[in-house]
A and B are shown apart, each in its own frame.
Chain A
Amino acid sequence: MIRVEGVSHRFGAMQVLHDVWFHVPAGEVFGFIGPNGAGKTTTLRMIATLLEPDVGRVLVDGHDCVDDPQAVRKVLGFMPDGFGVYERITVLEYLEFFAAAHDLPLASRAKNLDAVVALTELGDLRQREIAALSKGMKQRLAIARTLLHDPKVLVLDEPANGLDPRARIEMRDLIEQLQSLGKTVLLSSHILTELSDMVTSVAILEKGKVLRAGAVDAIGKEVRPDRALRMRFLGYQEGSETIFSAHPDVSHVERDADGLLRVRYQGGDDTVAALVRLAVEGGLDVVRVEPERDDLERIFLEVTKGKLQ
């Protein structure tokens, strides 16, 4: 749905993007992650037709962002980081204004508006002046605005930035709803916990270069082929490390500060079962077994080698 092909860009003497390639499949929630200043916003602005790449091309739903920006704008909704809203008009007037600006047919305009208001749960606030809305509600309104023309693709730059925990959860639910409606969502963030529950694929950007791009699980396996298992036993059971070290699939065993045993191994669920069996046979009273997920934070740290930005 979105293809970024060999994009490079420079602002004056500063090279902000260098040969960036990635592909967002249709219907996915795709995370674009990287530290501040990595070039995320620049890339998203190119996808949104607000900036032209110096080299390379960006395609959205098959349309070139430079050669046919109007076609791209018809299938894309973009919410920039630090978006603004018109304060002195009401929620309904705001949405009506953007519907008219999009030149939506008058016959279907009211239907579109109702659908968008229902989806973003702004129904009770229709007549409220925007200046009186909370930040979370303004964020919802901005998303409602991007949905007015029923775009196939949504590009959200730091959508949960500055939101309180409740508003973040609501935002996450909204994005899941959008995915269920078949929308392709590309969202950027430098707060990885915010993305980890939502995204299925990611591109990791650092200093203008894509370090890895693809499905989260695949990248996780690629960056660290072995997996980890956390185990807790009843009381402190000395010598438990040695029981696991002997297993041929186990590469490393360590005990963390909480007393949990962290066993790194290669293999699948059968290895997990074998390790649990080994613990029981070794006389350990197993209380908890927890396979570590390939979470974004770990992947990000592995990919960026934990360097300070």
Chain B
Amino acid sequence: MKREPNPILIKELRATFRTPLFVRFLYLATGVVGILVLMVGAIAASEGTPPAQVGQTVFLMFFGLAVAVVSLVVPAASSTTITAEVEGSTFESLLLTGMDPARIVVGKFLANFATFGLVVVAMSPVVAIAFLFGGVSPLRIFWAFFGLFVLLAIAVAWGVSVSARVRTTRTAIIVSTLLFQPVVLYGTVFVGVAGFAMSGVFSSAENLGPFWFADTLALHFFRLDAFVLVFLLPIYAAGLTIWFLLASAIASVRPAAEDRSTPFKVWALAALFGQVLVLFAAFEVVAGGRGGLSFDPRDWDDLALGLQFASAALAFFFAALFANEPPLPPRLWQLRSRRSHSWLGPGAAGTTQAGILLIGASVGLATGVAFLYGNSSWRYVTAFALTGATTFVVASFYLYLGAWLRVTLRSGAAARVLAFLVLLVTLIFALLGRLIVPELKSAFDCFSPVQGYVAAVEQLSRHRALDTTGPISVGLYALLTLTLYLLLRARVRRAQVRLDERRAHTESLAAAREAAQAGAPQ
């Protein structure tokens, strides 16, 4: 059966295009960008700059302004999409239709993407000014627009995600706008640095700043290294980000009685696949020399260690993500699956187990690659093993501590922050302790959650024998993790007993009332 278009998308587009404010914004954005680009082009041309360079300046000015419009306006405008419904008392009516929260969120995302996509399209003729001067190919402009639309999709997903999380429109606008700016800033810097790093590999036009990728894709799209590094990986990273933001919005909209964690587990698996893709790109495409890069053998070891630290970031992200589960699987999941628990399913027990597996897989991949590609000397092998073990154990500790706190405090945000603070305080305690009482330096080092990393790096950089405080620290945190696992298990069991008692109590009350009614004179 043919599925009809998302009703949210249709309704939102109808409402938006009838709003006079939107039409005014469309004119204003196009007008301001057009005037500024023309001004800059005219100034550059009047200074005797070569035409091709003027064309590039116009190109950069246009896309710079477009990025500014997208990053300033879109998160703010998209962040009102759900809060406005909540404040306007229409959201509950929407939920009561039985519409899947995923359909609601995707509808909101598509509507905002289409709306602001139209703004970008409306502004697009302005960039044609660059063609008057030359120096910019249509293909380069195509890829620059492609990048702009990717940024637009991220900005919209970000806004929708914030909108689903916060309660008021005012907070949503402030939070989404303020927090998105650093993301854009660091993203621009990262893209610029990546362009600089690859400038020797891909010949491209100079002075394109963060828009170097447009030139690279225009010239080298069919080269494997360019395709993987400049197209596939960024698209994958952007897709993963948008997926995560939308999954987060869907989880916020979904009732608490529904399974909220499984979509994140699916996402985490996809993120793991991304890690494989990164490893492939790093080791086969770039380091393998097919792209023309040649690595010093010593760089291989640094790269292997660097990848391990990158996987640590992913592992800690997984830990924070899966620490926020209620003690028992949600009631509707239990009813639907006819099970009270599942080994990897929702609920604190299943989700922490899934988290451990995902952390293990992430660490295992990076460590395995380090063993395979890195230096095979004992010194390196022990350092790689110690780094992997530290990530696995400390991330697991964070996961179980957060999960236990979540179950105890009944607040996901507080549990994550507290668990992080515990790690931070332990680290500061160990650092201060070794400074204040130097004779107990080794003992304090054992308390430090990062001692495994420190010992591994020291062993590699200073050519020293392995510092035993590293493995001891890992062992200590493994014991703590085991304790937390047992504590969590006890809490989960207690919660199950309490729930069973409550259900039995309700049923006995209902039975008693029915019996009393049946016995009462009519």
Across-interface contacts of B331 in A (CB, < 8 A): 66-67
A97 to B94, CA, bound (A): 10
Give the interface segment out of B8-16, B170-178, B401-409. Answer: B8-16
CB of B98 within 8 A of CB of A88, answer no
CB of A80 within 8 A of CB of B93, answer yes
CB of B97 within 8 A of CB of A73, answer yes
A6 to B98, CA, bound (A): 26
Find residues 87-133 in chain A having any chain B CB closer than 8 Å to their own CB: 87-89, 93, 97-98, 100-103, 106, 129
Across-interface contacts of A106 in B (CB, < 8 A): 4
Say yes or no for B7: interface residue by CB 8 A criterion.
yes
A5 to B506, CA, bound (A): 8
A6 to B507, CA, bound (A): 10
A287 to B505, CA, bound (A): 60
| Residues 48-77 of chain A, each 1 if its beta carbon lies under 8 Å from chain B, else 0 | 111010011100000000111110011010
Closest to B509 in A: A6
CB of B11 within 8 A of CB of A86, answer yes
Across-interface contacts of B90 in A (CB, < 8 A): 83-86
A83 to B85, CA, bound (A): 11
Residue from B11, B18, B96 having most chain A Cβ neighbours under 10 A: B96
CB of A101 within 8 A of CB of B97, answer yes
CB of B99 within 8 A of CB of A101, answer yes
Find residues 500-522 in chain B having any chain A CB closer than 8 Å to their own CB: 502, 505-506, 509-510, 513
CB of A21 within 8 A of CB of B14, answer no
CB of B98 within 8 A of CB of A103, answer yes
A56 to B510, CA, bound (A): 8
Say yes or no for B68: interface residue by CB 8 A criterion.
no
A5 to B331, CA, bound (A): 19
Contact of A101 among B88, B89, B94, B510 (CB under 8 A): B94
Closest to A94 in B: B11
A101 to B101, CA, bound (A): 11
Contact of A73 among B8, B15, B96, B513 (CB under 8 A): B96
CB of A56 within 8 A of CB of B93, answer no
Say yes or no for A30: interface residue by CB 8 A criterion.
no
CB of A97 within 8 A of CB of B7, answer yes
Across-interface contacts of A97 in B (CB, < 8 A): 7, 10-11
| Residues 93-109 of chain B, each 1 if its beta carbon lies under 8 Å from chain A, else 0 | 11111110000000000
Residue from B11, B14, B255 having most chain A Cβ neighbours under 10 A: B11
How far apart are B239's CB and chain A's nearest CB, in angstroms?
A: 28
CB of B89 within 8 A of CB of A67, answer no
CB of A50 within 8 A of CB of B96, answer yes
Say yes or no for A300: interface residue by CB 8 A criterion.
no
CB of B15 within 8 A of CB of A74, answer no
CB of A5 within 8 A of CB of B513, answer yes
Say yes or no for A78: interface residue by CB 8 A criterion.
yes
CB of B98 within 8 A of CB of A73, answer yes
CB of B89 within 8 A of CB of A80, answer yes
CB of A52 within 8 A of CB of B257, answer yes
A48 to B98, CA, bound (A): 12
Say yes or no for A264: interface residue by CB 8 A criterion.
no
A96 to B508, CA, bound (A): 45
How far apart are B90's CB and chain A's nearest CB, in angstroms?
A: 4
Across-interface contacts of A93 in B (CB, < 8 A): 11, 14
Say yes or no for A82: interface residue by CB 8 A criterion.
yes
Q: A83-B93, A84-B89, A89-B11 are in contact. Are A70 and B509 (CB under 8 A)?
A: no
Residue from A93, A97, A149 having most chain B Cβ neighbours under 10 A: A97
CB of B98 within 8 A of CB of A21, answer no
How far apart are B281's CB and chain A's nearest CB, in angstroms?
A: 43
How far apart are B511's CB and chain A's nearest CB, in angstroms?
A: 10
Across-interface contacts of B16 in A (CB, < 8 A): 88
Across-interface contacts of B88 in A (CB, < 8 A): 84
CB of B506 within 8 A of CB of A88, answer no
Across-interface contacts of A5 in B (CB, < 8 A): 506, 509-510, 513
Contact of B510 among A6, A74, A88, A129 (CB under 8 A): A6
Across-interface contacts of A89 in B (CB, < 8 A): 11, 14-15, 18
Say yes or no for A262: interface residue by CB 8 A criterion.
no
Residue from A21, A69, A74, A78 having most chain B Cβ neighbours under 10 A: A69
Across-interface contacts of B97 in A (CB, < 8 A): 73, 98, 101-103, 149
A98 to B96, CA, bound (A): 10
CB of A100 within 8 A of CB of B4, answer yes
Q: A70-B98, A82-B89 are in contact. Are A21 and B11 (CB under 8 A)?
A: no
A9 to B257, CA, bound (A): 16
Say yes or no for A140: interface residue by CB 8 A criterion.
no
Find residues 5-33 in chain B having any chain A CB closer than 8 Å to their own CB: 7-8, 10-11, 14-16, 18-19
Across-interface contacts of A80 in B (CB, < 8 A): 89, 92-93
Say yes or no for A183: interface residue by CB 8 A criterion.
no
CB of A56 within 8 A of CB of B506, answer yes
Across-interface contacts of B93 in A (CB, < 8 A): 78, 80, 83-84, 98, 142, 145
How far apart are A46's CB and chain B's nearest CB, in angstroms?
A: 13
Q: A88-B15, A89-B11, A89-B15 are in contact. Are A102 and B89 (CB under 8 A)?
A: no
A185 to B33, CA, bound (A): 57
Say yes or no for B332: interface residue by CB 8 A criterion.
yes
Contact of A57 among B14, B255, B510 (CB under 8 A): B510
Say yes or no for B335: interface residue by CB 8 A criterion.
yes
CB of B14 within 8 A of CB of A74, answer no
Q: A5-B510, A93-B14 are in contact. Are A50 and B89 (CB under 8 A)?
A: no
Across-interface contacts of B94 in A (CB, < 8 A): 101
Across-interface contacts of B513 in A (CB, < 8 A): 5-6, 21
A84 to B86, CA, bound (A): 9
Residue from A70, A84, A142, A149 having most chain B Cβ neighbours under 10 A: A84
Across-interface contacts of A84 in B (CB, < 8 A): 85, 88-90, 93
Across-interface contacts of B14 in A (CB, < 8 A): 88-89, 93
The 8 closest A-B pairs by CB, nearest first: A84-B89, A100-B7, A101-B97, A88-B15, A84-B88, A84-B90, A6-B509, A97-B11
Enumerate chain A interface residues (CB-CB to B < 8 A).
Answer: 5-6, 21, 48-50, 52, 55-57, 66-70, 73-74, 76, 78, 80, 82-89, 93, 97-98, 100-103, 106, 129, 142, 145, 149
Enumerate chain B interface residues (CB-CB to A < 8 A).
Answer: 4, 7-8, 10-11, 14-16, 18-19, 85, 88-90, 92-99, 255-257, 331-332, 335, 502, 505-506, 509-510, 513
User: Would you list 22 pairs from A and B whose C-beta atoms are within 8 A, ordered by A residue?
Assistant: A5-B509, A6-B509, A48-B96, A52-B257, A69-B255, A69-B332, A70-B98, A73-B98, A78-B93, A80-B92, A83-B89, A83-B93, A84-B85, A84-B88, A84-B89, A88-B14, A88-B15, A88-B18, A89-B14, A89-B18, A97-B10, A142-B93
